[in-house]
Structures are given as C-alpha cells and as structure tokens.
Amino acid sequence: MLGQNIAGRHIVPNLGAKTEDERRELVRLREQYQLRFLKEMERQQVDVLIAPPFLTPSLQHDLSLNMSYEGSYALLYNYLGMPAGVVSTTRVRPKKRRAAAEAEIDPCRRPRRSTSKAPACRSASKSLLRPGVRTWY
C-alpha cells in the first residue's frame, strides 16, 4: 500500500530522539522542501489546495507515535507551516444528529462490532487525549 511505503520510507526513520545536529539537519531539509513546495505552487499558479480533513483529538507530546498513518496526508500542511482549515460541505439534519448521538461508537470512530477488541482500543484512545480538552467526533 502506498501509505505504508511512504510511512516506512519517510516518517518512521525520522521518529525518536535526535541529537542537536540531527535536529538541525531535519529542520534544514524541511525548509528546503517548504521552498520547493511553494515554488511549485507558484509555477502552477495554485492559490488554494483543497484536501480532505483528518480529525483527531488534541494529543499530548510524543503520543503521536501511537497513532496510525492513515491521516498522514493531512500532516503535510502542518509540516509545511501552511495555514489550514476545515469547511463544512453539508449539514447534519436533526434526525441524523439524534441517530449519531444514540449510536454506540467506540473512540476509534468505528461502529462497535466485537466487544473483545473494544476495551483495548478505548484505553489506547483515552491515553491520547489531553486532560480537560473536549473532543467532538
């Protein structure tokens, strides 16, 4: 899968503790990439990029290692230091809102199918949340 290849080649090797020299080199490489990215946007006369959001709760530092890479495409804009936002393209009807509120959904945002895996998923997700931060799914 493409996502696993990208994560394996570009994300995983850069995880973990770094020396000051290694950190400086990663910052230098990021700045080079930022410049290339912006030049390419200018060359193609792109003013706005539209991409799907990847919703996650606020994380404590260093807990992103516990997350999957399925939303790694959304990290690009944060990595590049570019402004980003989410715009609603539909409305939730009152009937659907009630149905969603009544549905039993686990913190991993999947309808619960098996209770055998739900507790582990639930405890892993709770450890990612910052105390006192409200999270809306």
Sketch the domain layout of the chain as residue ranges: 1-89, 91-137
Model-wide pTM > 0.85:
no
Rg (CA), the chain: 19
For the segment 71-86, the average pLDDT, to the nearest whole number, is 78
Question: What does the pLDDT average to over 35-62?
Answer: 83
Residue 72 — pLDDT band, cuts 50, 70, 90? Answer: low
Contacts for 118-127 with beta carbons within 8 Å, 24 or more apart?
124/66, 125/57, 127/63, 127/66
Mean pLDDT, the chain, whole residue set: 69
| Mean pLDDT across 88-101 | 70
pLDDT of 131 > 60? The answer is no
